[in-house]
Amino acid sequence: MTKYETVIGLETHIQLNTQSKIFCSCKADSWGDPPNTNICPVCTGQPGVLPIPNKAVIKKGILLAAAMNSEIRPVSFFDRKNYFYPDLPKGYQITQYDMALGKGGYMDIPTINGETRRVTIEKLHLEEDAGKTIHKPGRRLLDFNRCGVPLIEMVTGPDLRSADEAAEYLTRLRQLLRWIGVSEAEMEKGHLRCDANVSIRPIGSTELNPKMEIKNVNSIEHVRHAINVEVKRQIKEVEAGRKITSWTLDWDEDTQTLSKMRSKETEADYRYFREPDLLPVRLDAEEKDKVLAQLPELPLKRQARFEKEYELPTYNAEILTSERALSDYFEATVKFYRGEAKQVSNWIMNDVLGILNERGLSAPELQLTPERLAKVIILVDNKVINTSTGRDILRKVESSGKDPAQIVEEDLRQLEQCCKNYYPINAYILRQYLCR
C-alpha cells in the first residue's frame, strides 16, 4: 500500500463555439483553414486598434458559470497579462484576473468507491487565445489564426486524488460543455485543452507540496497516463531523498515521457493590470435572466430524474444522459410509446446505439424517429412481429425512412408472393408433407 497521496488540480482552456472572435469580427473556428487567413489588425495587435467585446462570448460565459455553480458577478473587468512569446504578437493577453465573470463554483463527480468528490472551481474567467507555434526542423512557424479566439479558463482547487478522478472530471466537463451548447469540446481540435498540476504528500498530511505542471496533453486518456507517470517519478524522487521543485513539464505521448520546459511562473511574473481599452462588463439583471432561462436541465439532474421517474437502473440512466440529444430522443420515444419506459431504454441501449455508432450519427439525424421507434416496440408488444424481426425492421426504417407498419405490410406481401410462386411447382411435395 502506498504511503503517499496524490494531489491534482486541473487548468482547462475551453474554446467557445461563437462565430467570431472575442474582440473582433474574424472567424473564430479556423480548424483546417490555411495559416494566417483569419486575422485582422485587432487580433494581431497592430498599433492604433481598439478591441470590441463579443456579446455572444459573455452570454456563453454566463451559461457555463451557472452550470458550474459559480456566482456571476454583476460587474467584471478585463486585464492585461504581460509576457513575451512569439505567438503572442501584442506582448500581452487580454484576460480577467481578480474581478472575473465567475466567482467560485464546483462540480460533483463520482469516485470509484461509489462516493462523490466535490471539485471546487478557483477561477472561471474569459480571455483571448494566443497564436500557435509550429515546430519544424531548424525553424519555427507562426500561425495567428487562433489569436483572439474566445476562451474560458477554469482552474480547479487541488481536490482530485488520482489520475482516474482527473479523467472523470474531464469527461463530465466535456459532457457538460456540449450539453449546454457553449463548446464542441473536441480535444483533438484544441477546443478543450488541459494542464495538470501534480504533487504528492504523505497520507494524512494537509500540506501542499511543490507541484509540477504538465502541459500539451491532448486527450483524456493522455491526461490519465501523464499524471500516473509523473506521480511514479515524484514518489521515486522522494524515496531517494531528493526534493521536488516546481517545473513546467512537456508531455510527449510518442515516447511516454515528460521533459522540463521551464521553471514555473508566478502570478507576479505576469504584471497584471486593468485593460485600459475596455470598459467594465456590466450585466443587466433582465438580460442575465434571459440568458439563464436558456440553461437546460443538467446531466446529473436529468440522470437522477430518469432513475426516479422512469425507474431506470443507474447504468441505463447514465448512458441515456451521456448526450443531451440522446436523452431527448429517449423521452420523446417514451411519450409516443406510452408504455413502460424500461422497454424503450432497452431498445435504445441494445439496438439504437449500435445504429448510431455504425453510421456515425447523432440521435436527431436518425430516420428512425422517436415515433417510428415507438411503433416498432408496439408491434413487438402486440406480437405482430417477434423481437428478432423488430430489430430487422429498425434497420430497414433507418435505411428507408418508411413507416414500420408499411415495411411489415411490404414484407407480408413479399412472403405471400413467394408462396404463390412456389406452391404450383411444389404442390405434390406439400401434399405429401401434410398427409404424413
Q: Does 415 score more than 60 pLDDT? A: no
Question: What one-letter code names the amino acid at 267?
Answer: E
Q: How far is CA 342 from CA 311, 346, 424, in A?
A: 7, 6, 47
SS (H, E, C) 238-306: HHCCCCCCCEEEEEECCCCEEEEEEECCCHHHHCCEECCCCCCEECCHHHHHHHHCCCCCCHHHHHHHH
- Contact (Cβ atoms closer than 8 angstroms) between residue 197 and residue 248: no
Nearest to 301 by CA among 185, 178, 176, 177: 176
**Residue 241 contacts by C-beta under 8 Å, 6 or more apart in sequence?**
none
Q: Does 227 score more than 80 pLDDT? A: yes
Report, as an integer, the average pLDDT of 41-55: 96
**pTM confidence score:** 0.90
For residues 423 and 359, the model is more confident at 359
The per-residue pLDDT for 177 is: 98
d(CA 424, CA 417): 12
The per-residue pLDDT for 375 is: 95
For residues 243, 246, 247, 251, the Cα torsion angle rounded to the nearest 10 degrees is 80
49-95 pLDDT per residue, tens: 999 999 999 999 999 999 999 999 999 999 999 999 999 999 999 99
Tell me whether strands 212-217 and 247-252 are parallel, antiparallel or unpaired: parallel
For residues 426 and 358, the model is more confident at 358
- Contact (Cβ atoms closer than 8 angstroms) between residue 119 and residue 135: no
**To which residue does cell 486524488 refer?**
161
Neighbouring C-beta atoms of residue 202, cutoff 10 Å: 11
- Contact (Cβ atoms closer than 8 angstroms) between residue 274 and residue 92: no
The per-residue pLDDT for 428 is: 66
> Domains of the chain: which residue ranges?
4-292, 299-422
Question: Mean pLDDT lowest for which of 31-40, 168-177, 218-227, 263-272?
Answer: 263-272
SS (H, E, C) the chain: CCCEEEEEEEEEEEECCCCECCCCCCECCCCCCCCCCCCCCCCCCCCCCCCCCCHHHHHHHHHHHHHCCCEECCEECCEEEECCCCCCCCCEEEECCCCCCEECCEEEEECCCCCEEEEEEEEEEEEECCCEEEEECCEEEEECCCCCCEEEEEEECCCECCHHHHHHHHHHHHHHHHHHCCCCCCHHHCCEEEEEEEEEEECCCCCCCCCEEEEEECCHHHHHHHHHHHHHHHHHHHHCCCCCCCEEEEEECCCCEEEEEEECCCHHHHCCEECCCCCCEECCHHHHHHHHCCCCCCHHHHHHHHHHHCCCCHHHHHHHCCCHHHHHHHHHHHHHHCCCHHHHHHHHHHHHHHHHHHHCCCHHHCCCCHHHHHHHHHHHHCCCCCHHHHHHHHHHHHHHCCCHHHHHHHHHHHHHHHHHHHCCCCHHHHHHHHCC
d(CA 78, CA 276): 9
The per-residue pLDDT for 413 is: 65
The per-residue pLDDT for 356 is: 96
Q: Does 260 score more than 70 pLDDT? A: yes
Q: For a pLDDT cut of 70, what percent of the chain falls above it?
A: 92
Maximum separation of any 2 CA atoms in the chain, in Å: 101
Q: Which three cell numbers stand for residue 350?
A: 441494445
Q: Does 316 score more than 60 pLDDT? A: yes
CB half-sphere exposure, 346, CA atoms < 13 A: 9
The per-residue pLDDT for 108 is: 96
The per-residue pLDDT for 410 is: 72
The per-residue pLDDT for 418 is: 60
The per-residue pLDDT for 414 is: 64
Q: Categorize the per-residue pLDDT at 253 as very low, low, confident or very high, splitting at 50, 70 and 90.
A: confident
Terminal CA-CA length for the chain = 75
In whole numbers, what is the pLDDT of the chain averaged over residues? Answer: 92
